[in-house]
Amino acid sequence: MYDLVVIGEGLSGLLTAIAARKQGYRTALITKGAGRIIQSSGLFDLIPGSDSDLDAWFRFHHLTSNQKIDVAAAIDRFKDLMNRLHLPYSGNIDHPVSVITGSGHLKKTVLYPATVTPIPDQGCAVIIDFDELSDFQGHFAAANLRADRPQLNVHWLSLHLGIHSQRTLNQLDFARLLEQEQVRRTCIRQIRDQLTERRINKPDLLIFPSVLGADQWQKVVGDFRQAFAARLTEAPGLPPNASGYRLFTALRCEAMRLGVRFYLDAAVMGGEIAANRLLSVTYQTSFSTGKLSAAYFALATGGLLGGGLEATAEGVRESVLHLACDRTGHVTDLPGNLYPIGASQGLAHTACGITGGVFTLLSSNQALRAMDSEREGRECHA
């Protein structure tokens, strides 16, 4: 019934499903749950947890320099997509920039959404905290930022919104609160008062936790920008970050609108392979079992974190289709019509346990290209 079945709903799965639909593949996406993208920062790094540049990244993933064009194409394609989804991304793969994280430390990234601004070396930055938000500690963030950027004049202030909640508030809750004009006005007033009180004349940059609107980030960013004539950025930290959530919901909504068929809360338990081709996958839900057949399959099940790989006493195991793999989880007996994407390519592609978003973009693009040429080849042959 399908041309392509994508297994997994992380960044890899969603991007692949969207691109495939656009190329006319009848596409299904099957997943046992949301991918790690919903816990992520929404940023696209080269090698997570490292400041290395593009060359180091090429070496890390064993890519050849003639694949540089592929990387550029993947990034352009992603930027086009995100422009269309009104969540534009900036950045240049040759020039990683420093952005702030929830701890206040800086990290290098190459693609970032419009709610994020690189941290300058100098000037005046004000970190905005909220009394009611325990997932972000502004004074620690300020201290860490000062250590990372000694020339930058860093201030910290905390707002009190007087909000009564029946649960512990997280960043996403604040992102939704800030979508209310009334709440924004209160924030702006309190920030103004505290800036005056502390004799901070004109901040160049306001640093918030990742709370600048859930769906309506433009409104939120626009209001603060206008009120203070300053640049704004988010410091993503403990999940859920509004920046990761925005990316996830934008991609998922797009996939649904394009007609990707979702099989949710369904765990793939194995597949049927014949003559080096995966014919179908079997899945289980809490009340049923089923089978999906397709011409092509994308394995976007993530690595150890996503559930696609499992660490056992004997070593790493591919736990979804039970394919043979080496000790890094790299599948060694890959059926010809199965394409592993992103973190499911094995531990050699992860750093600090995670696969950088840029590699995910590249591998998704490459898989689609390979599928396309295989399909064309088959059609010609036929």
Partner 1 sequence: MLEWHVLNETFEKCLKCNACVANCPITANTLAFGGPKHLGPERARLVENQNPIDDKRIEYCTLCGTCDRSCPENVPVSTLMAYAKMRHQEQTGSSFRDFVLSNAELVGKMASGFAPITNLAMRTKPVRIVMEKVMHMAAERHFPAYRFKNFNRTFASSEAKAAEIHIPKLSKRKVAYFVGCYASYNAPEVADSFMQVMRFNGISVLKPKQKCCGIPMLANGRMKQAAKNAAYNCEQLLTYVHQGYDIVATCTSCSLALKKEYRSLLQSDAAKELSAHVYDASEYLRMLQENGEFNENLAPVEQTAGYHAPCHMRAQAMGSPSLDILEMIPGYSIQDLGEGCCGQCGTFGFKKEKYAVSLQLGKRMAESVHALGAETTVTECGMCKNQLDQLTDKPVRHPLQILAASYQKAAAHAPTAARI
Ligand X SMILES: Cc1cc2nc3c(=O)[nH]c(=O)nc-3n(C[C@H](O)[C@H](O)[C@H](O)COP(=O)(O)OP(=O)(O)OC[C@H]3O[C@@H](n4cnc5c(N)ncnc54)[C@H](O)[C@@H]3O)c2cc1C
Question: Can you give the binding site for ligand X, defined by CB under 6 A?
Answer: 7-13, 30-37, 39-41, 43-45, 48, 239, 267-268, 300-302, 305-308, 320, 342-344, 354-357, 360
265 contributes a contact to partner 1 by CB under 8 A: yes
Stretch that binds partner 1, among 33-41, 45-53, 103-111, 342-350 (CB under 8 A): 33-41
Rounded Cα gap, residues 35 and 37, in angstroms: 5
257 contributes a contact to partner 1 by CB under 8 A: yes
Q: In the stretch 285-304, what mask flags binding to partner 1 with x, by CB under 8 A?
A: xxxx-x--------------
270 contributes a contact to partner 1 by CB under 8 A: no
Please state the closest distance from residue 149 (CB atom) to partner 1, in A. Answer: 30
Task: Please choose which of partner 1, ligand X, none residue 104 contacts, taking the beta carbon within 5 to 8 angstroms, the exact cut-off set by kind.
Answer: none
170 contributes a contact to partner 1 by CB under 8 A: yes
218 contributes a contact to partner 1 by CB under 8 A: no
Amino acid at 27: T
264 contributes a contact to partner 1 by CB under 8 A: yes
Rounded Cα gap, residues 121 and 107, in angstroms: 14
Nearest to ligand X of 157, 320 (CB atom): 320
Choosing from 18, 20, 38, 71, the residue that interacts with partner 1 (CB under 8 A) is 38
239 contributes a contact to partner 1 by CB under 8 A: yes
Please state the closest distance from residue 40 (CB atom) to ligand X, in A. Answer: 3
182 contributes a contact to partner 1 by CB under 8 A: no
Choosing from 306, 329, 340, 356, the residue that interacts with partner 1 (CB under 8 A) is 306
Stretch that binds partner 1, among 108-116, 191-199, 222-230, 281-289 (CB under 8 A): 281-289
Binding residues for partner 1, total number by CB under 8 A: 46
381 contributes a contact to partner 1 by CB under 8 A: no
In the region spanning residues 327 to 366, those forming contacts with partner 1, defined by CB under 8 A, are none
- Which residues form the interface with partner 1 (CB under 8 A)? 1, 28, 30, 32-35, 38-39, 163-170, 172-173, 176, 214-215, 239-240, 245, 252-254, 256-257, 259, 261-267, 283, 285-288, 290, 306-307
